[in-house]
Structure 1
Amino acid sequence: MSGTALTPPPLIHTERLNLRRPKVEDAQALFEGYTSRPEIVRYLTWRPHGSVEDTRQFLSWVGAAWDRGDEFSYVICPSQESAPIGMIGIHPAGTRVNFGYVIGPEHWGKGYTAEALSVLVEWSLAQEGIWRAGAYCDIENPASARVMEKAGMAFEGILRRWSVHPNVGPEPRDCLSYSKVR
């Protein structure tokens, strides 16, 4: 599948948030906020980080992936703060993009993740050659499904045995699929 070269802006402002490229210096805040917490990363595709160094290595990898154009991750920061409270990533795949996101539990229920996802979905669909913006979540994660709905994505169906969430078990799990298309 031929890919569309995306060039996301390094900083995006929304009504209440700043989305920016992550820095290795963000490691401590992210480690304390969620990367080390099993209950927060339960439905993600990676295990909790055992140390701040694990988070630093992850952030180095994220920076290199951005530079290669493989994926584009942003830290989510409330407008008046510089410390990140979560992350959201754009994963290009030919004529579509996929998203993944996580935010610390102290910030759940405030609409921050939906606000971040919404602006990135709209930006992505405005790019030439991108026709579909999608995301999925574990079938037992209704809060994530609500984020996608609030961001204007439509429920498409259940992806059977779609994704391994190692914090739940070793087998692929059913996931809810959402998208917005143009």
Structure 2
Amino acid sequence: MVRAWYMDSENTDQRLEHHRNPPKFLELDELYKKTGVEYFQLNADTFQIDGSLDKIRKERNYSYEDEIICSKDCLPDYENKLKSFFTEHLHSDEEIRLVVDGSGYFDVRDGNDEWIRIEVVRGDLIVIPKGIYHRFTLDSNNYIKAKRYFIGEPVWLPYNRPADEMTVRQEYLQQLQKGF
């Protein structure tokens, strides 16, 4: 089950954050209201046959799927890839990830520009809205295997911050103001 919390703003090395103070956890509905990030919990052992993933894919029109494994053994140019994933950026499409094995962290910015860390583990599916600033890092296990989903052909382009002039960013901020 996913957990989300505000990150310690005093901590300068936030790749693997160790809290000085207990974290301020957010409930999933609060995470959605503050960021638009959606969460689905799937049974990692049965999602391919129980229809739960098929239902989500159909409802959201996800037509493309692939898989990524982030580990020293499986990801070419591992160190540089992790650095690029951890660079704050946004996308012009939703970022959909289903954790098949392993674990990691997605960090997203709320409306006050504060970081919220989202811990994802096996069976977690998250949808990060287009236009939100975010980043990804592995946890101390240094391993995650995830399915990636898209509507239509995938768009892999990250737009590093600042990208505030982009239409997709402006649309996200308008939606954030109106409420999710």
Q: Same fold (TM over 0.5)?
A: no
> Under a length normalisation based on structure 1, what TM-score does the superposition of the two structures give?
0.25
Higher relative contact order (CA 8 A, sep 6+): 2
Q: TM-score, normalised to structure 2's length?
A: 0.25
